[in-house]
Amino acid sequence: MRSLHSRIITLTTFTLLLVGCGSIETNDDTVSNTGSTSEIPLIIDEQAPTDPIEFALWRARNADSLEQSILFYFHAANEMMAVEEWQHAASILNDNVTPFSSSVQFQGYLLLAQANAELKKPLDALSALSRAKRLPAAQSPASENQLGLQRASVLETLENWPATLKERLKLSFTLPPDGRSDNQSKLWLAAQNLTDVELEYLRNDNNIILRGWLDVSSLLRNQSLTLEQQLEAFAKWRTSHPSHPASINPPIDFQLIASLGDLVPTSIALMLPMSSTLKPASDAILEGFLKTYYASTGIRPKIKVIDSDQYEHIEDAYLEATNTNPDVVIGPLRKSNVARLLQTDLTVPTIALNRLEQNPSKTNLFYFSLNVADDISELINVAKQAGAEKAAILTTQATWALRQGDEFNTVAEEAAVPVAINLSYEDTPKGRQNAIKKILLVDESEKRQRSIAKWIGEPVESISRARQDLDYIFFVGKISDAKQIRPLVDFYFADHIPLLSTNSLNDTPPYKLAKKEDIERILFTEIPELLVETDNAGSTDSNLILRLKAMGSDSLLLANRYPVFEQLANARLSAKTGIITLDDQGVFHRRPNIVTYRKGKIVDAQTAFEFQGEETQQ
């Protein structure tokens, strides 16, 4: 309830506004001995609104000058922000404050950026900050810091970590001492959120301080080192770089690693279904786990493997797994068994290898999987960074594809991304064509042409054009499906609309396709492990098996590092399945890489687009 119960408004707020436009002269002698003016009342016209926001708007509409009007509108917008009326505040600022040169124009743009950020319109927020930067008021050091801090905050919302890191780095040189600690923590968070490809790309920068941060992040990414070896490597780095900010104030991650000590597991039990249809998946997970286990140096934990298929109830398998008092249990894999763990007394930290539709928080229970929701979230974030929001969903009629389409719809709704249409198609030439025409509204265009032809009594010569309000299509299918869909989209003059997909698309090596250009302009997710030159080259394993092996490797990594996540809310871990984080429900999330096909090869999407830009310039 923001309405006032009196028509007496305290003097301070409006005095400050009127002083700013020269309407009131101040005299220090009029200030009370306490130094406060907040108790001095200003009697307002009896017809004035009692609501603070309505009162400010009323004063703005009845102001004696444009400057006064702008100041009162600015105050109204501030009041709206205080009660979370973001849209109303943005409208007031856009219409009545930022278009006009005034003493609050710069602050108006900053407030507009904040409102747009709250409205989940980060690109509009960045646009407001860009306009603010061009004002004379933006040239002071304090104003530059205000702009930088707000820009960094918006970039964090967009999850554009390379840009965030660079913005925070600039701020580290200009912020006053009391703001540097928080900025450095957020700078480090941005560095830890970088994919390995992004990190290597930033190494091209000649900034020595930036390279130092990247070096420190790389130490934690080197999973071939034990925790003790990582600490030793960091200590050696600090000796070589004594004046670097990371050396003077080390990231908290290293402090936590040093304190782990006895928390590093000495024994681990795995529960996997080794005798059923899930045996191939379990074999792959176990192989990945053991490969990392034997590659590690130092003292290794004891390992116990339980075939959960040999027990009628998962509770019995869990009792068997824990009867030797392991420090960590990994498993189960089957989703129904994960659900049953919610009703089980978990005596040791347990990392389930699947995720549920709802993942309630439970003591000692963590969820780790290759759930497609993480891939979809990253696709939506990348699209937002490019200013693309409105999507369409196109899936094959396979059950798994329909589920993935529904998952995108759910994640898109949570992210406030409008979905124009959710459509599946019959895998026939006619079915594919009709689906694309419906998504692009070409069928509506053809319908109008037929109506006009019928009305005028003669054929109409016209080319059916695709809709212009669609930013991208989320496509669910295999690569063999995509190579038929992409050319169809291009045929209807929609070659500017990219297809976005998850790694389900990447099931066949692209070099086996006859026309490589048929699969370009498709962005999809993939785990880092499948993008590096490793022993996987020449492997006969499917990409799905390779992903499961990476998952097994990372499960061992999490068994060693989960205490870091528990003690550090913003912990990040660069792993084989992506950048791993932990939420409040105990769910480990992955940030995968975004890649595309380029001349028959899978390449990082950023690299591909830069290469295309260079070609355009030539």
pLDDT attached to residue 456? 67
Least confident of 98-112, 177-191, 266-280, 604-618: 604-618
Mean of pLDDT values over 288-292: 95
| 373: β partners | none
**Structural tokens at position 197:** 């490809």
String of DSSP letters for 258-323: HHHGGGS-SEEEEEE--SSTTHHHHHHHHHHHHHHHHH--SPPPEEEEEEGGGSSSHHHHHHHHHT
pLDDT category, 617, cuts 50, 70, 90? Answer: very low
- Over residues 334-372, the pLDDT tens digits come to 999 999 999 999 999 999 999 999 999 999 999 999 999
Question: By the 8 A CB rule, do 518 and 486 touch?
Answer: yes
Rounded Cα distance between 223 and 227, Å, is 9
* Domain ranges within the chain, ordered by starting residue: 8-191, 264-370+542-586, 373-526+595-617
pLDDT attached to residue 566? 86
pLDDT attached to residue 388? 87
Residues 6+ apart with CB under 8 A from 584: 361
Question: By the 8 A CB rule, do 468 and 420 touch?
Answer: no
The CATH architecture assigned to 373-526+595-617 reads: 3-Layer(aba) Sandwich (3.40)
Q: Which fold has domain 264-370+542-586?
A: Rossmann fold (3.40.50)
| 365: β partners | 350
For residue 9, pLDDT over 60 is answered with no
- Over residues 429-439, the pLDDT tens digits come to 999 999 999 99
Same fold for the domain at 8-191 and the one at 373-526+595-617?
no
CATH superfamily of the domain spanning 8-191:
Tetratricopeptide repeat domain (1.25.40.10)
Q: Which of 91-105, 476-490, 600-614 has the highest mean pLDDT?
A: 91-105
Least confident of 79-83, 194-198, 303-307: 194-198
Residues 6+ apart with CB under 8 A from 487: 518
What predicted TM-score, i.e. pTM, was given to this entire model?
0.80
Strand ranges (DSSP E) for 172-251? Answer: none
Question: By the 8 A CB rule, do 129 and 154 touch?
Answer: yes
Classify the phi-psi angles of 544: left when phi > 0, otherwise alpha if psi is within -120 to 50, otherwise beta. Answer: alpha
For residue 343, the one-letter residue type is Q
Mean of pLDDT values over 461-479: 82
pLDDT category, 516, cuts 50, 70, 90? Answer: low
For residue 607, pLDDT over 60 is answered with no
Mean of pLDDT values over 432-457: 73
The H-assigned helical ranges of 477-542 are: 479-491
For residue 110, pLDDT over 90 is answered with yes
Mean of pLDDT values over 227-237: 90
Is residue 68 helix, strand or coil?
A: helix
Mean of pLDDT values over 367-390: 92
pLDDT category, 316, cuts 50, 70, 90? Answer: very high
pLDDT attached to residue 462? 54
- Over residues 482-508, the pLDDT tens digits come to 989 999 998 888 888 999 999 999 987
Least confident of 61-65, 337-341, 463-467: 463-467
For residue 600, pLDDT over 70 is answered with yes
Rounded Cα distance between 93 and 120, Å, is 17
Instruction: Report CA torsion sign: 568, 572, 574, 575.
Output: positive
pLDDT category, 535, cuts 50, 70, 90? Answer: very low
Percent of the chain topping pLDDT 90: 64
As a whole number of Å, the CA-based R_g of the chain is 29
Mean of pLDDT values over 536-545: 77
